[in-house]
């Protein structure tokens, strides 16, 4: 078993495993409530509704992501729903954007009503070349063309790049429908320029979805909300509390500006699921952790991890054998010996890291992430000492 919660686990991303979340999981299993619709369990649905509004407010999300005052989502109001993963959320958005676009094209072009495949073949979505592989998988499952756009020197997708791509595709007879922006890429925690991209999406009529699976949790701290400048222009927003907010897996929070666009796509209720409250209350399926830790407790947790990452950055920056490859500290090393160092770290087994690369520049690097709730400054120093020791061995062989 790979111990994901060990203080020397610095691979992938944090995975929460806290006492309140474990206890809540046990209670949920014991109650055995199946909350697939409001009528199946009103309390389950109502708790999720309240919970998602709490969480949205804690992150400082725009009011349009909150449920309407009456609590319902049957109209065109916003709201949130818990998904299993960011991959699921991305697929939901792809399918919803696709269906809306096909309906629009069929209304404009009668011939498309007879042959929906003609409309489908024209649809195109966009994402940066740094986006997660789940975006590509979602496009494949939705049968929508995906165009991966180049990023700038900071690996950020910019508005002018998107605008050019949309103009080119419209000239080719395609129908641009969706942009998946990323706040905190998997490779290096880079951030797309959401403010610029949101403006283009609004002017061009594209659905703007924000994938903030990992970095989104940092929005609970007001001093880090600048990473989401332009969020008011987004149509949907998703992050994983299960990564960095003390909630056990699987838990991915998805908010929508207009929830009807998703509800209408998936609303196929047989008689036995219909009830007199349909359209008045949301139909779905994180409460203990927020009640136990409180906002200030979660803010302290996020700030501690960032402080530890900065400590590691200082250690690496002071050592001229290493190079920080990104402004945000989740990787180090950028040359051929890095591969040998990575192999040595894996074989040594005292700490656990993973590697990645920037394909455009053929840059191989080692990612370092602060993951465990129990990680302290001494663990960061220990990890650096292990890396330094193994680097000495690699360089001596060279």
pLDDT at residue 47 is higher than 90:
no
pLDDT at residue 135 is higher than 90:
yes
Structure-model confidence comparison of residues 158 and 317, the more confident one = 158
> For residues 10 and 8, what is the distance between their CA atoms, to the nearest angstrom?
6
Look at residues 152, 110, 154, 149 and name the one whose alpha carbon lies nearest to residue 129. Answer: 149
**pLDDT at site 330:** 38
Mean of pLDDT values over 337-348: 88
**pLDDT at site 119:** 80
Q: Decide: helix, strand or coil at residue 278.
A: strand
Please, which residues bridge with residue 208 across strands?
Answer: 179
Q: What is the pTM of this model?
A: 0.84
Mean of pLDDT values over 159-182: 96
Cα distances from 375 to residues 30, 249, 390, in angstroms, run 32, 19, 21
> For residues 73 and 252, what is the distance between their CA atoms, to the nearest angstrom?
19
* Domain 19-291 falls under CATH 3.40.640.10: yes
What pLDDT, in 10s, does the model give residues 259-303? 888 877 766 555 444 544 455 545 443 778 888 888 999 999 999
> For residues 331 and 174, what is the distance between their CA atoms, to the nearest angstrom?
38
**pLDDT at site 360:** 67
pLDDT at residue 359 is higher than 80:
no
Residue 110, C-beta contacts closer than 8 angstroms, at least 6 positions apart:
none
Indicate the CATH number for domain 299-397: 3.90.1150.10
pLDDT at residue 212 is higher than 90:
yes
Mean of pLDDT values over 163-171: 97
- Domain range annotation of the chain: 19-291, 299-397
């Amino acid at each position: 078993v790979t111990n994901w919660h060990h203080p020397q686990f610095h691979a992938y991303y944090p995975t929460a495993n806290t006492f309140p979340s474990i206890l809540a999981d046990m209670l949920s299993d014991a109650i055995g409530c199946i909350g697939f619709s409001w009528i199946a369990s009103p309390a389950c649905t109502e708790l999720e509704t309240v919970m998602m509004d709490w969480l949205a407010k804690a992150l400082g999300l725009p009011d349009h992501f909150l449920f309407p005052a009456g609590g319902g989502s049957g109209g065109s109001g916003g709201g949130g729903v818990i998904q299993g993963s960011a991959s699921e959320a991305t697929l939901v958005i792809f399918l919803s954007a696709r269906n809306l676009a096909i309906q629009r094209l069929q209304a404009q072009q009668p011939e498309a009503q007879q042959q929906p495949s003609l409309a489908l073949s024209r649809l195109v979505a966009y994402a940066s070349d740094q986006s997660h592989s789940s975006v590509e998988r979602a496009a494949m499952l939705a049968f929508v063309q995906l165009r991966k756009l180049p990023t700038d020197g900071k690996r950020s997708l910019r508005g002018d790049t998107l605008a050019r791509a949309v103009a080119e595709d419209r000239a080719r007879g395609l129908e641009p429908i969706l942009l998946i922006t990323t706040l905190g890429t998997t490779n290096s925690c880079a951030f797309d320029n959401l403010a610029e991209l949101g403006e283009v999406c609004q002017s061009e009529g594209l659905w703007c979805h924000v994938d903030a699976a990992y970095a989104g949790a940092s929005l609970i701290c007001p001093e880090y909300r600048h990473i989401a400048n332009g969020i008011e222009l987004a149509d949907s927003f998703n992050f994983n509390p299960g990564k960095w907010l003390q909630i056990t897996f699987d838990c991915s929070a998805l908010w929508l500006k207009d929830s009807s666009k998703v509800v209408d796509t998936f609303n196929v209720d047989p008689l036995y699921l219909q009830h007199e409250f349909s359209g008045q209350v949301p139909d779905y399926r994180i409460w203990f952790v927020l009640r136990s830790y409180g906002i200030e407790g979660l803010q302290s947790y996020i700030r501690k991890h960032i402080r530890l990452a900065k400590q590691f950055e200082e250690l690496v920056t002071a050592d001229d054998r290493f190079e920080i490859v990104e402004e945000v500290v989740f990787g180090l090393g950028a040359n051929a010996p890095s591969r040998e160092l990575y192999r040595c770290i894996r074989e040594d087994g005292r700490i656990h890291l993973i590697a990645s690369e920037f394909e455009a520049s053929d840059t191989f690097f080692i990612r370092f992430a602060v993951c465990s709730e129990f990680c302290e400054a001494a663990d960061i120093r220990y990890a650096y000492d292990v890396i330094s020791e193994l680097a000495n061995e690699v360089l001596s062989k060279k």
